[in-house]
Amino acid sequence: VGGGHMTPAAGAFQIFAHGDRLLYNAEYVFKETAFYNAALVNGQGQLGSGGDWFECTEFRRRKRGPRLSSVKEQGDATVVACDVAPAYPDPLGVKRHDRHFIYLRPDIWVLIDEFATQRASTFEILFHAYGEPAAADRPFTPCGPGVWETGGAQGRLRVTGLTPALQGAAELQDIWRTGLKDDGTHPGYQMCLLRLKNAVPVRRFTSVVTLEAFPAGGAATAAAAWDG
């Protein structure tokens, strides 16, 4: 763990498929977990958030941080496991945030987030999309209960929240750049955001989301269902 230019975005990821950036993080911006494809707990981000520079003092004091737990090849699938819990401030009481990526070649990802906290909490799973830098040009369009699509001229992505307790909302998010303008505010722009979260605060929660890429002009074909 270092400071300065790092981002408070442990567990964040991006997807490029069919010639298009389908999920994309904010570029070099104000240090906020909310600007990345990561997770918030009770609306709050990870250690190092809240400034023009990444603040790593607490990580150095702890001498521990988030980590990549394992990467396993299983036939046509790759399973990646991450321990993200140490990235969150102690007052949030995050006992567990295990993020799993299951990549089913060639075009499907299953994202599983397992949370446990000391008190009932709300967990937000964030997805960002844009084509041109600093342009809100890739909205997440509802396509049915718990299903959204985004993408560009070459590739598309279908996002499906499988966990029944997940609520979703597509919105435009204000992004702050680093530095201040003459009037004391941050320069910024907007980015397309899909926010999934548990409807009722709980101490333990598992979010399961499927992501399928497909060519623009085509259609998603995978079927997935929640079996409890």
CB 46 within 8 A of CB 32: no
Distance separating alpha carbons of residues 227 and 225, to the nearest angstrom:
6
Distance separating alpha carbons of residues 78 and 76, to the nearest angstrom:
7
The per-residue pLDDT for range 26-47, each reduced to its tens digit, is 888 999 999 999 999 999 999 9
Note the pTM of the prediction, 2 decimals. 0.95
What 8-state DSSP symbol labels residue 36? S
Q: Got the DSSP string for 136-199?
A: -----EEEETTEEEEE-SSEEEEEEE-STTEEEEEEEEEEEBSS--TTSPPPEEEEEEEEEEES
Helical H segments across the chain, by residue range: 57-62
Nearest to 36 by CA among 58, 14, 54: 14
Residue 33's pLDDT is what? 96
Whole-number mean pLDDT of the chain? 94
Residue 59's φ and ψ, nearest 5 degrees, are: -60, -40
The per-residue pLDDT for range 36-81, each reduced to its tens digit, is 999 999 999 999 999 888 888 888 888 778 999 999 999 999 999 9
CB 28 within 8 A of CB 36: no
Token output for 46: 């990870």
pLDDT at 1 > cutoff 70:
no
Nearest to 169 by CA among 151, 192, 152: 192
